[in-house]
Chains A and B, each alone.
Chain A
Amino acid sequence: MRRVGALARTALLVLAAFGSTGCASLWPDWFSDLEMPDWPAFDEYTESPKSYVEIALEHDFLVRVKPWERSVLARRDMSWDPDELEAARRNHTFFSKEASMPGGSAGGGGCGCN
């Protein structure tokens, strides 16, 4: 069992090392006959090769929204509190019930004296 764990850790280490170097030539040439997707493997600004982790993050589950791509995020219904009046009412109810002011925010250092 211990050996399996050690092997798994070593495999993870090797994967992380290869995956994060940003140098495709370090990979063994196992996939040379596969057609690779046409994703930008080079950073658009620095023109340095992107690491596999970066590519995976950008294309699988993490989107870096550029400043000029925030039109949807700038919509009123995308804000934390689209209805300011309702938010104020809820906050008032919350801190009244909690007997703290302002109980709904994260201010203060935990002394209870806010």
Chain B
Amino acid sequence: MCRITPSVRASAVALVVSATLALALAPARALAVDAGQPVPSFSARTLDGDATLALSNYRGKVVYIDFWASWCGPCQTAMPLIEQLSKEFPADQFQVLAVNLDDKPEKAKAFLAAHKVSYPSVSDPQGNLPKSFGLKTMPTSYLIDRAGVVRYVHPGFRASDIDDLRKKIREVLNQATLPASPEAKR
């Protein structure tokens, strides 16, 4: 006859409790926007606050969305290089749109006063846009094709990444315009 001794029972209980806790605490799988998926549509106030920019304003262009913040070191490396990229490609085909995630937009304005860029920055101090994109690191950028489909996600940034980015942008720009799929509306 098999007897369940108190120690066996205590071990079983401990096992069940730890297993349930482990299951409960397992990180939820984030549904991040990835290559091949339609870009979430959005509109947000610009950093200076006097206009609202929507992603749909750039329909038909290849858009490079860059999430940045003034406190983020790699973002500071990226900005002058992205500025350079934005000037390399024709403005009627390629657009850089920066999304600033500083909790205090004044910090971002001070940063931009010192590091001038020509492309627009929208401000999202509440962090709603990175949530909808499922951002996993700072900075992250998304290359969106003319049909509104994410073609490339670039997490983090090193100065050496710029050549690869340039190549990818050129590839997307050189592709024929595809009709937008029903899911890819923005």
- Which A residues contact B (CB, under 8 angstroms)? 2, 6, 9-10, 12-13, 16-17, 19-20, 22, 43-46, 48, 51, 53-54, 57, 66-71, 74-75
Interface size class of B (residues with CB under 8 A): 20 to 34
Note all chain A residues with C-beta closer than 8 A to B103.
69, 71
Cα A19 to Cα B28 in complex, Å, equals 16
Residue of B with least CB distance to A62:
B25
- Please determine whether A68 and B130 come into contact, CB atoms closer than 8 angstroms: yes
Pair A12/B25 contact, Cβ less than 8 Å:
no
Interface status of B176 (Cβ within 8 A of chain A)? no
Q: How far is the CA of A56 from the CA of B135 in the complex (A)?
A: 24
| A12, closest chain B residue (CB) | B17
Is A45 a contact partner of B71 (Cβ separation < 8 A)?
Answer: no
Residues of B that sit less than 8 Å from A by CB:
6, 9-10, 13, 16-17, 20-21, 23-25, 28-32, 67, 69, 71-73, 101-103, 107, 127, 130-131, 134-138
- Neighbour of B24 across the interface among A9, A22, A66, CB < 8 A: A22
Q: For B107, what are the chain A residues with a Cβ–Cβ distance below 8 Å?
A: 71
Whether B135 contacts A45 by the Cβ 8 Å rule is no
Residues A53 and B25 in contact, CB atoms below 8 Å apart: yes
Given A9-B10, A9-B13, A13-B17, answer yes or no on A43-B101 (Cβ-Cβ < 8 Å).
Answer: no
Per the bound structure, the CA–CA distance linking A67 and B74 in Å amounts to 13
Closest chain A CB from B20 CB (angstroms): 4
Asked if A68 and B135 make an inter-chain contact with CB atoms under 8 angstroms apart, the answer reads yes
| A-side contacts of B6, CB under 8 Å | 2, 6
